[in-house]
C-alpha cells in the first residue's frame, strides 16, 4: 500500500513504478520511477482530475510540497497533483557518478535514454497506472515545458489540457542557434545587474583578479577559478535569485583573503553534485539528428565580453562547458561519458510538426518577455505552430513566475478553458 503523510492543508502519497530504461525494449533493464501525489486535505476521496507537474531541468527533481511554490495551492483547488521525479532524479533511480556504469561508452549509452521522449513515455505508464484510460492535465515549467511539447507530439491522447510556463522550445533550433541567441540575453541581464549594483563591477573584478593570482580552494577542496566564478550569473534569470550574487560579493573578503562564508556560498551555487544530469544532458535536449560538440563553449568565442581576462567581468548564464568536468569533483568521473554525448550525432527527433499543427488539446503558455533562459522569439514561433495554443506574453514575471505567483497558473487555466 502506498505510504502517505500529511502537511498543513495537504495529504501526500508515494507512488513507485518500474519502467523500461529503453522504452523501445520493454523487456529489457528497468529503472525505478517515483512520483508524489498531493491532494488538498479533506478531499482525498473526491473525484478530482489529475495534474502532472513536469519540473524544469534537465535533471531536476520535482518540487517538494513544502517548498512554497505559489502554483501548488492554486492547483490543489482543482486537481489531484502528481509531482514526478523525472528519471534519474530525486527518489527515482539516480543517475550520478556513484550509480552510472564505470565504462564511459556504457554510461553514455545509458544516459541516451534520459531525454524528453523517455520522460513522456514514463508519464504515460504512470497515467495508465493511476488514471486508467482517462487523459490528464500537465503543467510544464521550463524544461518541463519542452517535455510537454514532446508529449503533445508523441502522446496527445493522454492529455486533457496542457499548461506551459517559460518552456516553449524552438522546434528546429539546434544548440549553436540556442547559444548564439542566449549570450546577448545574458549580457543584457549583466547590465541590469550592474545597473542595480554599480559597485559590484569593482567587487567582481577584485574577486576575479584574486582568483587569477591565487590557488583558492572551495570547502570540498576543488579550485575556484576565474571562469568558474563567472558561472554565478546563472542566477540572473530568476527574480528570486537575481540579487544573490550581490550578497555574496559584499562579504567576499576577510582581510586580503576570500572569506569562508563567500566560498561556502559560491560552492553551493557552482557544484553540480545535486544535479549532474543537468550538466550531462543540457546541450542534448536541443539536439535532433546532430551533435552539440560543446556548442556553448564554441559559441562563447564569438562574444569576447565573456573572456575570463576581459577588462570588465561578465557573468555567464545557463551554459555548460567541457571544463566543468575537470573542475567539479561531482562531474570529473563522468568527463569521458560527457564527451561521447557531446559527439553523438544520431539523436532522435523530439517534436512532430505535423501532429502539433493538428493539435486538439487545449494549451495555454506563458512566454516571459525578458526570459534569460528561453528565447522569446523561438517560443512565439512554436506557439504559432501548435494549433489552438493560447500564448500569454508578459514582462511582469521572470523565469520563475510560476513558483512566485499563484496567479500565473490561475490565468493559464482560465485561458485554456476560454474564460479569459
What residues have CB less than 8 Å from 399, skipping those under 6 apart?
A: 142, 166, 237, 238, 368, 371, 372, 373, 374
The distance of Cα 141 from the centroid of its chain, to the nearest Å, equals 8
CA dihedral 141, 144, 146, 151 (to 10 degrees): -120
Peptide bond into 256 cis (omega under 30): no
Q: Which run of H or E residues covers position 84?
A: strand 80-85
Give the whole-angstrom CA distance, residue 159 versus residue 59. 23
Residues designated as active site: 142, 346, 399
What residues have CB less than 8 Å from 188, skipping those under 6 apart?
A: 370
The position carrying cell 510537454 is 148
Q: Are 351 and 171 in contact (CB under 8 A)?
A: yes
User: Which residues, in sequence order, are bridge partners of residue 106?
Assistant: none
Taking CB atoms within 8 Å and a gap of at least 24, the contacts of 226-229 are 226/308, 226/309, 227/308, 227/321, 227/323, 228/270, 228/327, 229/266, 229/270
DSSP string, 89-109: STTSPB-STTTS-SSHHHHHH
Give the whole-angstrom CA distance, residue 360 versus residue 389. 9
- DSSP, collapsed to helix, strand or coil, labels residue 234 as helix
The cell for 325 is: 568536468
- Terminal CA-CA length for the chain: 42
Give the whole-angstrom CA distance, residue 329 versus residue 131. 42
User: Which residues, in sequence order, are bridge partners of residue 138?
Assistant: 52, 162
User: Which residues, in sequence order, are bridge partners of residue 16?
Assistant: 34
The cell for 35 is: 512520483
- DSSP, collapsed to helix, strand or coil, labels residue 67 as coil
The cell for 370 is: 525578458
The cell for 242 is: 537575481
Amino acid at each position: 500500500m502506498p505510504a502517505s503523510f500529511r502537511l498543513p492543508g495537504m495529504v501526500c502519497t508515494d507512488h513507485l513504478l518500474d519502467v523500461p530504461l529503453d522504452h523501445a525494449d520493454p523487456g529489457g533493464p528497468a529503472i525505478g520511477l517515483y512520483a508524489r501525489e498531493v491532494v488538498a486535505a479533506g478531499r482525498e476521496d473526491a473525484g478530482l482530475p489529475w495534474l502532472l507537474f513536469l519540473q524544469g531541468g534537465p535533471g531536476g527533481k520535482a518540487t517538494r510540497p513544502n517548498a512554497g511554490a505559489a502554483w501548488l495551492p492554486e492547483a490543489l483547488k482543482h486537481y489531484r497533483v502528481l509531482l514526478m521525479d523525472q528519471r534519474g532524479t530525486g527518489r527515482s533511480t539516480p543517475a550520478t557518478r556513484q550509480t552510472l556504469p564505470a565504462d564511459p561508452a556504457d554510461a553514455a549509452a545509458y544516459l541516451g535514454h534520459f531525454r524528453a521522449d523517455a520522460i513522456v513515455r514514463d508519464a504515460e505508464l504512470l497515467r495508465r497506472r493511476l488514471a486508467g484510460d482517462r487523459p490528464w492535465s500537465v503543467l510544464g515549467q521550463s524544461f518541463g515545458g519542452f517535455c510537454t511539447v514532446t508529449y503533445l507530439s508523441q502522446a496527445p491522447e493522454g492529455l486533457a489540457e496542457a499548461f506551459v510556463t517559460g518552456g516553449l522550445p524552438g522546434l528546429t533550433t539546434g544548440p549553436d542557434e540556442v547559444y548564439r541567441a542566449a549570450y546577448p540575453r545574458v549580457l543584457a541581464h549583466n547590465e541590469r545587474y550592474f545597473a542595480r549594483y554599480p559597485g559590484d563591477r569593482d567587487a567582481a573584478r577584485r574577486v576575479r583578479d584574486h582568483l587569477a593570482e591565487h590557488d583558492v580552494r572551495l570547502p570540498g577542496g576543488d579550485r575556484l577559478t576565474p571562469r568558474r566564478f563567472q558561472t554565478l550569473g546563472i542566477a540572473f534569470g530568476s527574480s528570486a535569485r537575481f540579487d544573490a550574487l550581490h550578497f555574496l560579493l559584499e562579504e567576499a573578503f576577510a582581510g586580503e583573503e576570500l572569506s569562508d562564508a563567500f566560498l561556502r556560498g559560491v560552492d553551493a551555487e557552482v557544484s553540480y553534485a545535486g544535479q549532474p544530469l543537468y550538466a550531462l544532458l543540457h546541450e542534448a535536449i536541443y539536439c535532433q539528428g546532430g551533435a552539440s560538440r560543446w556548442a556553448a563553449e564554441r559559441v562563447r568565442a564569438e562574444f569576447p565580453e565573456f573572456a575570463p581576462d576581459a577588462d570588465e567581468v561578465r557573468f555567464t548564464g545557463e551554459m555548460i562547458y567541457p571544463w566543468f568536468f575537470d573542475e567539479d569533483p561531482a562531474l570529473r568521473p563522468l568527463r569521458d561519458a560527457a564527451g561521447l554525448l557531446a559527439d553523438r550525432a544520431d539523436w532522435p527527433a523530439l517534436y512532430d510538426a505535423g501532429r502539433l499543427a493538428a493539435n486538439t488539446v487545449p494549451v495555454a503558455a506563458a512566454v516571459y518577455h525578458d526570459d534569460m533562459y528561453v528565447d522569446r522569439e523561438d517560443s512565439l514561433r512554436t506557439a504559432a505552430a501548435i494549433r489552438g495554443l493560447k500564448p500569454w506574453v508578459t514582462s511582469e514575471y521572470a523565469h520563475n513566475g510560476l513558483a512566485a505567483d499563484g496567479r500565473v497558473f490561475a490565468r493559464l487555466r482560465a485561458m485554456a478553458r476560454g474564460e479569459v
